[in-house]
Amino acid sequence: MTIQPARLSDPAVRAFVSAVNAHDRDGFLALLAPDATMSDDGSDRDLGDWIDREIFSSNGHLDVDSEGRDGRSLVARYRNDAWGEMRTRWSFTVDEEGRISRFETGQA
């Protein structure tokens, strides 16, 4: 059963999923701390390059199946034009200002 983005527990994660699904690159970037980092399948990646390739130029979309850690951990079906659909895990670190300072993703 899919959890609608508006029902996700953590406000930053809710906004992240909503921005991905709306293909709102500017809104997405506004959610990130200035020095935000990310990893994919355990390897740190260049954030700007990764989001352009994996989300915004390839029509990325998240359907969230479950959440944990007060909404800062997700299991979701992620799809984009490059890879199709896969079951993924997402983990978020949110700073004291409510911005995402790190996210980690990979196959679940």
Domain of residue 87: give its range. 5-107
Place of tokens 């390739």: 53
Q: What is the CATH number of the domain that holds 89?
A: 3.10.450.50
Walk along the chain (108 residues) and give the pLDDT tens digit of each residue.
899 999 999 999 999 999 999 999 999 999 999 999 999 999 999 999 999 999 999 999 999 999 999 999 999 999 999 999 999 999 999 999 999 999 999 999
Quote the number of domains for the chain.
Answer: 1
Q: In 38-86, which residue ranges form alpha helices assigned H by DSSP?
A: 47-51
* DSSP reduced 3-state for 26: helix
The pTM for the full model equals 0.96
Q: Report the Cα 10 to chain-centroid distance in Å.
A: 12
